[in-house]
């Protein structure tokens, strides 16, 4: 997040949450992690529901995109700091 601030990029979700709610960076990160956990629970519940509104083949691309984003951003900014994922490159 600090690198983006130094470059003058758009504010991050953490920065927006901090500004909106007047909390510290640590509190904002914790709250955002909590929101992500709740969203994953919602996704998993919907996928398990046999009476879901949308058919599974329509939901799977969204699930896979969510998984990909969790992999990239789940433990920091894997897009900006892509070097730490060099061991995951395709063969």
Of the pLDDT bands very low, low, confident and very high (cuts 50, 70, 90), residue 71 is: confident
How many whole angstroms separate alpha carbon 90 and alpha carbon 81? 18
Q: Which of 71 and 50 is assigned the larger pLDDT?
A: 50
9: left (phi over 0), alpha (psi -120 to 50) or beta: beta
Q: Do the beta carbons of residue 12 and residue 73 sit within 8 Å? A: no
Kindly state the average pLDDT of the residues 77-85. 55
Of the pLDDT bands very low, low, confident and very high (cuts 50, 70, 90), residue 86 is: low
Q: How many CA atoms lie within 13 A of 5 on its CB side?
A: 7
Kindly state the average pLDDT of the residues 31-53. 91
How many whole angstroms separate alpha carbon 38 and alpha carbon 44? 10
Q: Is the pLDDT of residue 34 over 80?
A: yes
């Amino acid at each position: 997040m600090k690198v983006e601030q130094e470059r003058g990029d758009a504010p991050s979700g953490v920065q927006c949450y901090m500004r909106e709610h007047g909390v510290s960076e640590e509190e904002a990160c914790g709250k955002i992690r909590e929101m992500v956990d709740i969203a994953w629970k919602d996704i998993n519940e919907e996928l398990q529901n046999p009476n879901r509104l949308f058919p599974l083949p329509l939901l799977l691309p969204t699930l896979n995109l969510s998984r990909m984003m969790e992999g990239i951003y789940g433990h920091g900014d894997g897009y900006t700091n892509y070097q730490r994922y060099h061991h995951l490159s395709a063969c």
